[in-house]
Structure 1
């Protein structure tokens, strides 16, 4: 047994070292195969004293692998935000894409089967929940696991409930890069373990546009279909070879393209190529355990880019081998999981584990035992120099993202100090009898100039962070880190009013339009989404920092003599929001000072409206009545 590293591969190490888990993995595999032989049952379940396993059958119809008339040849579609609200890029506000046929199959399963009831009953009994499946059944298990995690989060179910686990066998890819990013951010990717035979074609099939190979693919599914369900004849040799070569060619293309990106290739031809050649959007996630039918070694990884490369390099054929023979074997290996897993996890055997998450370019200086063991393994599996280079690039990309995070973290205290400076400035404004927003907008004193310098310095720091997030150059969990969510919220509430003041002070709205439409920087949109995601709040529900932008636009409209009835609805909405924000401490009382832009504008509203307003208690009633008599 290889050395354990619970921080990197806790799930794998636990499963392979604990006798209970070692027994559960073969059980999951057997149940998955049994589910394939029970097409009339939407799922099989196995209950024990402390666990409940739900196994989903694979489908042998090509329509359940790629939707007819899908928007692309790869059949991806936006994830259902109602079922999977966390599966998105928070800062970039980008929805994840998943295989549309798998998503449709799972949603139908929820509607017509007792899955939800059965899972919740097992959870209420504090049992360990496990989802499993072979082939496309594993893809349904993946979606079921995420659904259960979302349900637990939605209803705040955490008391005594262990995290679910998902174990799949020979499963095709399910989601795109945003899907992978979201699972990493939520710390859910660690709950997925995928077993893949080195030569199995099915886990690689969605690297190819299946819609262009519908006839060939349906013939392959007929062959893989259990005999009691369908007459299992071998697909025509020509169709099988065509399918095999297409999958291999596409796997090579996406591996090379991703390697060029990770290595920082700047050749403009690469960008031109992507405009003509469509690469698969799907990416691996979780922990992959590759194993060969020739021995009892497990090669496991959790680096998504490394897994993507090995899905090709472990599948790459020897030029001297007969293509028809290896293509046939690539199908047969998909049917061998139960036998191989049983042998692999025989309690009397020892499983040899090797991680390929980080590979040095050269072993010439490697003297430690672990490095020598890794070098021996690479020779045994005959991993090419090109493959090693690609794996090294994937590991270095992750290291660079960690370095970027360390650089950003080093600015944390600097940002906090600048925010403390702004808090002191705001307190000084109140002592001077004028609000924070209006004092800065007037720019009369040296303190206002210094504050503007701080505003610009902070903008530079946050724009750098946002640009890294936009390009996914920070670790996936960055925009979910509590300390940065809190700092981003402080920053937005303190500094965005100053940006709005600067925007309208220089009349940028006359050229660009309203601040909220075209003028609002990404740094505020990102940090707002962080908070809304962390609090599970509806989108655009935390816009208190944009209060002054709404005021400025209403000032402009009413100043242009727009009749009050035309803006009344917006005024009422703003007043309700002001009341809520003040009560929640998100908006300072300085907005009600008699010289503030807000107070001056509000006093121009009809007296009848002001007297009945929900924020009238914050205003000077004598002023209201006095001005109405003038």
Structure 2
């Protein structure tokens, strides 16, 4: 079998971003805001923003004066980092970014954070479900504010249904530490929301290096053209290597204006054209990956200036090539909803066996676990924990990946996720009510269960009623509504309130029980509830006895008509009960 050929995708990405009007429109918005401010206010250290409504998308632009941004970044304290743990209580809008590690905090550049915080209260509230895309852009420290604003929005986007925001910065310094980079880069959809344009003449993006890590895609520009890089190690290496001493003397206003020239000229150039004929760098034996990297470095002017910098370009090429190979391998092992499904079958088999044996206890799967009468429950908890961790991670990953890469779970995974939800969620419900809590569905239900249920509803065809196969298998099937036992527990609470006369609103509790009746009857009619609910000591049968005592022997309803005849329990379990 031939070895997989590696190549660099930065060239294609560079061509894509510059041949669309988005980059041009983003810069035009910044320039328009700059022109408006320069006429009315003049230089200041504040950040200004404005919303521009275009036919195809909405742009919000952030602007800071180039000279002020440069002084702030270079000055004392300009590189200070502030930990997310220090503003968690007072400014919790980034809490969702915290990586799930022993150290769940990350750090952000303090000057940028203070600028963002100063205007956060007056920033517009965008309708996340709007089909019109949102472009967020900014220059220098204004770009840092744009980045933070984009980060604050990420949690609200369901990337499987809604177009995420695109943040484009021009000459922005790095914004955070390694923990922040890991939190963003963990999700492809989040990382792809950021495009950072960096001029070879701009010092500001290159100042904050120590303790900082880049994320997103970086578009390096020079008079020769531009090229994109995604690997954060490579980006940091290029920012460090291209930090020429002569950049110290650059006029920040001239550098700011140069971005407009880059944006204008890019559409008129062949991006990343191979302009080098240096045989020491490229010859017929050079691999496609290495040749592509050399072409990219030539395009951003690094090879041309290597003599001036006293830098061994071959070392940089080799480092970049190594990181590109590692990234390619990482992409090959990227999130796959079907990976691991065979492994978790072992854990599901244990639970299925536990459920089967539970019938011997006359209370069933749910109540056996809730009552904790067997030592095997200890092993059950281990299997339950493994399965929950697996599916929480799978749903978390699937929800945040781009739709084209697999934002919704595939058919096989969705089938496994549905079985998991119907098998495990009743156990979580048992733990919840055993702890004396109430209202599981609204107060205690995990987000990943909700998402798995929504995905099933989106793909499931409407049912016209139970078929014969469904009736025959009802004794071994799982209850379709994984929240069934939560409804049972709430019904028992209502019975207790009515019996003890503790309720201040007896009519409300009575209506709840009537609705619960209709709910159970509907499940039975569709053979959508497991027959184990009729086991003598189950919580459902306990509710039934409590309810019958409250309502009396003369009360009649669709459900009581079925429940009053115990022969119907066996008929239902065999799929022979005719329910009108």
Structure 1: distance between partners of 2:188 and 2:534? 44
The correspondence for 2:539, drawn from 571, 575, 598, is: 598
The correspondence for 1:491, drawn from 381, 403, 420, is: 420
Structure 2: distance between partners of 1:80 and 1:9? 43
- Contact (CA 8 Å) 1:296, 1:344: kept in 2 or not? no
For normalisation by structure 2, the TM-score amounts to 0.56
- 3-state SS of paired residue (1:336): helix
Spell out, residue by residue over 1:207-240, the C-alpha distance to the aligned partner (whole angstroms, 9 max, x if none): xxxxxxxxxxxxxxxxxxxxxxxxxxxxxxxxxx
- Contact (CA 8 Å) 1:132, 1:138: kept in 2 or not? yes
Spell out, residue by residue over 1:472-522, the C-alpha distance to the aligned partner (whole angstroms, 9 max, x if none): 9xx977995524576345314314556998x99xxxx9xxx9599xxxxxx
Distance verdict in 2 for CA 1:85–1:253, change over 3 Å? closer
Structure 2: distance between partners of 1:526 and 1:52? 30
Structure 2: distance between partners of 1:442 and 1:534? 32
2:38 alignment counterpart? 37
2:270 alignment counterpart? 350
1:163-312 matches, within 5 Å, as: 165-174=166-175, 177=179, 181=183, 185=187, 187-198=189-200, 200-203=202-205, 247=208, 251-253=209-211, 283-292=213-222, 295-312=223-240
Structure 2: distance between partners of 1:533 and 1:180? 29
Segments of 5+ residues of structure 2 without an aligned counterpart are 1-6, 42-46, 275-280, 438-444, 457-480, 567-580
Spell out, residue by residue over 1:62-104, the C-alpha distance to the aligned partner (whole angstroms, 9 max, x if none): 9999xxx9xx942644599997898676999979876642442
Structure 1: distance between partners of 2:187 and 2:234? 19
For normalisation by structure 1, the TM-score amounts to 0.52
1:339 matched to 2:258? The reply is yes
1:403 alignment counterpart? 333
- 3-state SS of paired residue (1:74): strand
- 3-state SS of paired residue (2:61): strand
Structure 2: distance between partners of 1:589 and 1:479? 33
Structure 2: distance between partners of 1:371 and 1:61? 37
1:57 matched to 2:63? The reply is yes
- Contact (CA 8 Å) 2:487, 2:516: kept in 1 or not? no
- CA offset at residue 371 of structure 1? 2.1
- Contact (CA 8 Å) 1:252, 1:312: kept in 2 or not? no
C-alpha root-mean-square deviation of aligned residues, in Å? 6.7
Spell out, residue by residue over 1:561-585, the C-alpha distance to the aligned partner (whole angstroms, 9 max, x if none): xx9959x99x999989978986789
Structure 2: distance between partners of 1:42 and 1:495? 51
2:409 alignment counterpart? 482
Distance verdict in 2 for CA 1:461–1:10, change over 3 Å? farther
2:82 alignment counterpart? 74
Structure 2: distance between partners of 1:458 and 1:139? 43
- 3-state SS of paired residue (2:219): strand
Structure 1: distance between partners of 2:320 and 2:143? 28
- Contact (CA 8 Å) 1:429, 1:436: kept in 2 or not? yes
- Contact (CA 8 Å) 1:79, 1:96: kept in 2 or not? no
The answer to which of 422-431 and 25-34 deviates more is 422-431
- 3-state SS of paired residue (2:189): coil
- CA offset at residue 414 of structure 1? 5.0
Segments of 5+ residues of structure 1 without an aligned counterpart are 206-246, 255-282, 355-361, 517-523, 536-542, 625-630
- 3-state SS of paired residue (1:350): coil
1:437 matched to 2:366? The reply is yes
- Contact (CA 8 Å) 1:134, 1:169: kept in 2 or not? yes
Distance verdict in 2 for CA 1:150–1:369, change over 3 Å? closer
- CA offset at residue 134 of structure 1? 0.9
- Contact (CA 8 Å) 2:26, 2:135: kept in 1 or not? no
Structure 2: distance between partners of 1:587 and 1:623? 20
Structure 1: distance between partners of 2:401 and 2:425? 26
- Contact (CA 8 Å) 2:425, 2:482: kept in 1 or not? no
Structure 1: distance between partners of 2:548 and 2:70? 68
Distance verdict in 2 for CA 1:497–1:48, change over 3 Å? closer
1:137 alignment counterpart? 142
Distance verdict in 2 for CA 1:313–1:188, change over 3 Å? same
- 3-state SS of paired residue (1:31): helix
- CA offset at residue 58 of structure 1? 1.5
- 3-state SS of paired residue (2:215): coil
